[in-house]
Amino acid sequence: MANYIVKEHNGSDGADSRTKSTIAVWVKRSRTGTEENIWSWGENNSSDSRLKFQSDDTLRFHSDGTGGGATTHITTSQKFRDLNGWYHFVVALDGSNGTEAYRRRIWINGVEFVHGVGSNTFSAAVMGHNSTQDLFIGDNARLQQNAGNAKPFIGYMSHFHYCDGYAYAASDFGEFDATTGEWKAKTSPSVTYGTHGIFLKMENASNMDLDSSPNASSQLSTTGTILPSKDCPGDIFCTLNPLDTSDAITFNLSNANLTMGDVGGDDDHGIRGTLGASAGKYYWEVHAVNAGEVLAVAKSTERLTQSRTDSTPAPGFWGCQSNGSGANVNSYDNGTFSNTNALQGYDSGDKVGIALDMDNGKMFISFNGVWKGRDNNTSDPAAGTNPWFTTIPTDGTIIMPFTEHRSSGNPASHFNFGNGFFGTTEIASEGTNASNIGRFEYDVPTGFTALSTKGLNS
């Protein structure tokens, strides 16, 4: 998970092999409607190239020729607004290729984007190592010239390949699954990286900054906040979904849509997660920075409206809300409101666990690792005893994580669907987890797993 990621690969010997090279990378977006640079070569406008999302959510390969020539860009017509799935982009240059259409090629999730060749031969288009050029991953090379043009990529990134002097196809880095048809990564592709190539796996904290290519380059530097994430092309984890807005509200989400912030005068609006389930058992955690937030689940079919949790709450969701000091907890049970004074709930700063049992229509809630029912007695998700709710439908209805912003706290809450962080703070200690899917602060109840694509299919 990268909030702001820049890596530099500095030239040193004056060589220039930029007219034949390949860059391949997986990314997962966390926002739309904003220009973001996925990667960029160069330090000025006269000789650079970059791959970026534009403010209208199209994808552009911006490439300038040496000395400012061959300046014709490739822009897609399709828009990239999926904030749940991963995109795989492969850009290959081969300026000496006898077929003009093969001199600049782009693949999106294994399918080549046919862009036409126009009136320019592109023989001088550049993308790669030069003694005066740097490679920025997740930012614009012109940052060194004008910080206002930085426009960084904010989201997830994995398996970044730069092959110096070699033009490869997407099939060299990925393949279609024979059973599902899904485009998936080749984790150890058979490619040559050339003199200056790099391979950044970005899989965990120990190798995010390390070049895993045979070059083992030491010419890498990092700035900004870069965090490891379990979310990857092979296992997509739930996040909050900014596209699932009520009444055109823009939520103040951060940390790749895992932190809910203050929405100003638009309080009392709700938002769901990107994944849901109609069967199975799932667990996640919330650091309730402000205990006034509603922590819940909701039907995927419900239209979210303002103030679903007033004195006559709307049906279609199930959740709890502390009064902020832990003295009592409000419950919302599919349209029925109750206030449980007997339950010493949770205070601001506490961590709440949610165990959703879709097989039996039950939901369980824990406070700082202790499972309790609404009667303040012990509950046990593994045994199915004393659940908080028993009315969640088991008729195939898809149920999704849900939270409603009810306060002015900023941040209001941090969600851990298995990435192992609350905001930018790593979990204090890792609990047991039999499924081995995701990382959580507390023990995952037996039979439950993370709400991720692997968890949904386990």
More confident residue, 354 or 246: 354
More confident residue, 413 or 342: 413
pLDDT digits (tens, 9 = 90+) for 207-216: 676 788 888 8
157-176 mean pLDDT: 94
Of 110, 87, 113, 232, the closest CA to residue 175 belongs to 110
Calpha distance 387→365 (Å, rounded): 8
For tokens 């090379």, the residue is 141
pLDDT given for residue 103 in this prediction: 81
287-301 mean pLDDT: 89
One-letter amino acid identity for 380? Answer: D
Q: Where are the domains of the chain?
A: 6-223, 253-456
One-letter amino acid identity for 229? Answer: S
pLDDT band for 15, please (50, 70, 90 cuts): very low
Domain at 253-456: CATH code: 2.60.120.920
CB atoms within 10 A of CB 330: 19
Domain at 6-223: CATH code: 2.60.120.200
Calpha distance 48→62 (Å, rounded): 8
- Range list of β-strands (E), 300-345: 317-322, 329-333, 336-340
Longest dimension (CA), the chain: 79
Please name every residue paired with 198 in a beta bridge, in sequence order, or none if there are none.
162
Of 400, 401, 409, the closest CA to residue 267 belongs to 409
Q: Omega before 228 cis (within 30°)? A: no
Confirm if 62 and 54 have CB atoms less than 8 A apart.
Answer: no
pLDDT at 1 over 70: no
Calpha distance 350→81 (Å, rounded): 34
Start-to-end CA span in the chain (Å)? 24
Of 90, 225, 114, 239, the closest CA to residue 166 belongs to 90
More confident residue, 98 or 158: 158
Calpha distance 220→245 (Å, rounded): 39
**Topology match between the domains 6-223 and 253-456:** yes
